[in-house]
Structure 1
Amino acid sequence: MLWSKGIIYSIRFIFIVNTIYLVFNLQFLLVGLLIGSLLLTFIPEIFTKISNVKITMTGRVVYTVFIFGTQWLGTYLRLYDSLIWWDIMLHFSSGILLGYVGLLILLWIDKEGVVEKNIRFRVIILFSFLVSVSGAVFWEIMEFLADTIFGSNTQLGSLQDTMEDMVFGTLGAILFVIYMYLASHKKKKTVLERLIEIN
């Protein structure tokens, strides 16, 4: 628990210190990026306050590290440019992470636990998968709008880049679904069951 909080607070500290440095260097576009990234790290706490659904500390750490990887390492330190596999890895990871988000949303909208109590595992897996794939598609729509409206180049002007991102996001979602399926059939405690325990 302590090390988990340490990781989250360390990442937030890096964002804050780096933002102060950029303010003194008058790099306000990057300041906006890092402030936005810092705010994104608080989404798990905000989600819990709104929904009353608690998130495991492991889930919070994975999410925060993901934000760090996309925004600070990927965009600020430009690993997207220097490592050709960085973008693919993050889109694949996002498929897994969004599968987890699907479970959180299900716990939120199914307050009575009808789906879990009746062990509608296929429904749970399908819902989680569809949330994940929808997230991948939504992200590409946002990238397209950013490129069109603000003149950025997130999609590299390439249909191939867009499709690769969606394919790897979908593969991540499939991996998460396979994990859920195998864990349930081997009678191992799934991510969903851990979430149910703390809620």
Structure 2
Amino acid sequence: MKILKKNYKKEIVLANIMRILLILSMVISIKTQSWLNLFIAISTFVLTYLPYIIARKNGIKLPASFQIVILSFIFAAQILGELGNYYYKFWWWDIMLHTFSGVILGMVGFLLIYILNREEKIDLIMSPFFVALFSFTFALCMGALWEIFEFSMDSIFGLNMQKSGLVDTMWDLIVDSIGALITSINGYFYQKRHQQVPVFKEFFDENPRLLQKKEEYNNNQSC
């Protein structure tokens, strides 16, 4: 319990530091009339609250480690990447973030379908392979939608989100796939061999009722 409390404190401190930096960025952007940076800062500020809103609305508790990972990703992508120009300073920055986003989105896809697969009201039971496959395709689909968004922003507003165009898009999708594959493989073995993958175990430890549904379902099936 003490470790969990420490993790939540770290998450709160990290989130508040990010928000303070974003507010400072907003002030500087207004003074320098950097409207694009202002838009990015405001959007990122809103995103820092999004995990809590989604979790609370669906009655799900996000472990502190999940929240720290998500906030760190937002910080690296928006504050360092966009506002700090890390995308131009380091050639590997975009590749790293897209790989990481593939991992995160794969986790989201896995948890979504894993929970649905354990819902007794849904008359469909998928094998571990198809659950893992869904998490992979979900992450890749989200990655493709993001590339469409980047192309739209570049075409409509004359931005440079795609950097080198088609080459950037294809590498983004490739590393998205690698990140998603890492998560889906871990998800497969979590189901197939009941291996305690830390990231999934922590989520279900925080939300035991999601696993209780499956236990109730199995009991009904055996009766």
Query: TM-score interval w.r.t. the shorter chain?
Result: 0.7 to 0.9
For residue 99 of structure 1, give the secondary structure of its aligned residue in structure 2: helix
2:156 pairs, out of 149, 154, 167, with 149
Paired with 1:33 and 1:164, the residues of 2 have a C-alpha distance of 24
Q: Which moved more, 1:163-172 or 1:189-198?
A: 189-198
1:42 pairs, out of 45, 49, 67, with 49
Conserved? CA contact 1:41–1:64, under 8 Å = yes
Cα 1:62–1:114 change in 2 (3 A) is farther
2:27 pairs, out of 20, 27, 30, with 20
2:39 pairs, out of 7, 29, 32, with 32
Partner of 1:75: 82
1:23-73 CA-to-partner distances (Å, cap 9, x unmatched) read 233333311110111101111011113222222111111111111111111
Cα 1:35–1:108 change in 2 (3 A) is farther
Partner of 1:87: 94
Conserved? CA contact 2:131–2:188, under 8 Å = no
Cα 1:34–1:5 change in 2 (3 A) is same
Paired with 2:118 and 2:189, the residues of 1 have a C-alpha distance of 26
Shift of 1:142: 0.6
Give the unaligned 5+ runs of structure 1.
Answer: none
Q: Which has the larger radius of gyration?
A: 2
Paired with 1:113 and 1:8, the residues of 2 have a C-alpha distance of 37
1:129 pairs, out of 133, 136, 146, with 136
TM-score, with structure 1 as normaliser: 0.87
Number of residue pairs the alignment of both structures matches: 197
Paired with 2:199 and 2:160, the residues of 1 have a C-alpha distance of 36
Paired with 2:161 and 2:102, the residues of 1 have a C-alpha distance of 19
Conserved? CA contact 1:133–1:173, under 8 Å = yes
Identity over the aligned pairs, expressed in percent? Answer: 29
Give the unaligned 5+ runs of structure 2.
Answer: 1-6, 208-223
What letter matches 2:30 in structure 1?
V
Shift of 1:114: 7.2
Q: Show the 5 A alignment for 1:149-168.
A: 149-168=156-175
1:198 pairs, out of 194, 202, 206, with 206
Paired with 1:180 and 1:46, the residues of 2 have a C-alpha distance of 25
Conserved? CA contact 1:129–1:174, under 8 Å = yes
